[in-house]
Amino acid sequence: MNDSVALVTGGSRGIGRAICQTLARQHWLVVAVARDRQALAATAQTIVAAGGRCEHFVCDARDRSAIDRCVTTIEREHGKIDLLVNNAGGGTAGRPLAAEEMRDQDWVDMIDLNLTSVYRFCRAAVPAMKARRSGSIVNVASVAAHVASNLSNVAYTAAKTGMVGLSRHLAKELGPFGIRVNTIAPGIVASERVAAKYETYSEAERASILGRIPLGRIGRVEEVAAVVAFLGSDAASYIHGALIDINGGLFMD
């Protein structure tokens, strides 16, 4: 039995739920973190029903003290956090506003959720990882870290691009302590949120999107979760400071 503990933010649905399920199948003890208690419980229930271990913790990723409480509580109850997956986040609902139409608050909200929360979760989890000289962090950025987002606004693109710099800097600081830090950049992935948005597009819009993806389809949440689980595992023991694209060829470096 693997006694490793993973904290997955945004574990209540979408990609985060799939990450929780995949890690649990690989015998991690998973703690799913998000705001929606019922949805978190549903994630845990699917995992426990399949014989895995999953707990949940309600936390708003925009709330600094809630993040500190979350990390401290998990460390106290389970002794450690081996893997921190910063997945909570997301773009705009509906059609994105143009940069000049956004209010300051739109900018702040997007950066808080998609970038500052990642820094805060890392800041809270790193001291114990450093003390144990072991740990792994996987940050979920986006293809928007490479190209301007079509589905969201300028603040989302800025936050996801910033996450790459954040991860890179942390990798430099934390590598000497045996803590690996990596980032993934999913393309268009059919979480419930993105699938619902995709449904609103016309045939022509969908054809245009698919025409830019050499694999000819959008991704599945399990395809992202598999990469996170790999990066968190010992099989990835020499992968550090990497940015891994998961996008069907939508963007190729």
Ligand X SMILES: NC(=O)c1ccc[n+]([C@@H]2O[C@H](COP(=O)([O-])OP(=O)(O)OC[C@H]3O[C@@H](n4cnc5c(N)ncnc54)[C@H](OP(=O)(O)O)[C@@H]3O)[C@@H](O)[C@H]2O)c1
Active site residues: 156
183 is a contact residue toward ligand X (CB under 6 A): no
Measured CA distances, 12 to 54, 55, 138, 231 (Å): 12, 11, 17, 21
Chain positions 53 to 72 lying near ligand X, rule: CB under 6 A, are 60-62
In this chain, which stretch among 11-19, 47-55, 95-103, 202-210 interacts with ligand X, using CB under 6 A?
A: 11-19
Compute φ and ψ for 26, nearest 5 degrees.
Answer: -95, 20
Nearer to ligand X, 16 or 162 (CB): 16
Q: Environment class of residue 133 by beta-carbon count within 10 Å: exposed (0-12), middle (13-18) or buried (19+)?
A: exposed
Q: What is the DSSP string of 107-158?
A: HHHHHIIIIIHHHHHHHHHHHHHHHHT-EEEEEE--GGGTS--SSS-HHHHH
14 is a contact residue toward ligand X (CB under 6 A): yes
Nearer to ligand X, 134 or 242 (CB): 242
- The Cα–Cα gap between 186 and 142 comes to 5
Residues in the chain: 253
In this chain, which stretch among 21-29, 164-172, 189-197, 208-216 interacts with ligand X, using CB under 6 A?
A: 189-197
232 is a contact residue toward ligand X (CB under 6 A): no
109 is a contact residue toward ligand X (CB under 6 A): no
Residue keyed to tokens 């649990």: 24
Q: What are the structure tokens assigned to 2, written together?
A: 């693997």
161 is a contact residue toward ligand X (CB under 6 A): no
What's the min distance (Å) between Cβ of 111 and ligand X?
12
- The Cα–Cα gap between 93 and 251 comes to 23
Cα dihedral 201/156/110/85 (nearest 10): 100
13 is a contact residue toward ligand X (CB under 6 A): yes
Nearer to ligand X, 4 or 149 (CB): 149
Question: Quick check: helix, strand or coil at residue 10?
Answer: coil
Size of the site for ligand X (CB under 6 A): 28
163 is a contact residue toward ligand X (CB under 6 A): no
88 is a contact residue toward ligand X (CB under 6 A): yes
What is the widest separation between alpha-carbon atoms in the chain?
Answer: 54
What's the min distance (Å) between Cβ of 202 and ligand X?
19
* Residues 6+ away with beta carbon under 8 Å from 8: 16, 19, 20, 23, 30, 31, 32, 33, 85, 87
In this chain, which stretch among 7-15, 20-28, 169-177, 234-242 interacts with ligand X, using CB under 6 A?
A: 7-15
In this chain, which stretch among 77-85, 172-180, 192-200, 236-244 interacts with ligand X, using CB under 6 A?
A: 192-200
Shortest-Cβ-distance residue relative to ligand X: 14
What's the min distance (Å) between Cβ of 104 and ligand X?
18
Tell me which residues touch ligand X (CB under 6 A).
Answer: 9-10, 12-16, 34-36, 39, 60-62, 87-90, 113, 140, 142, 186, 188-189, 191-194
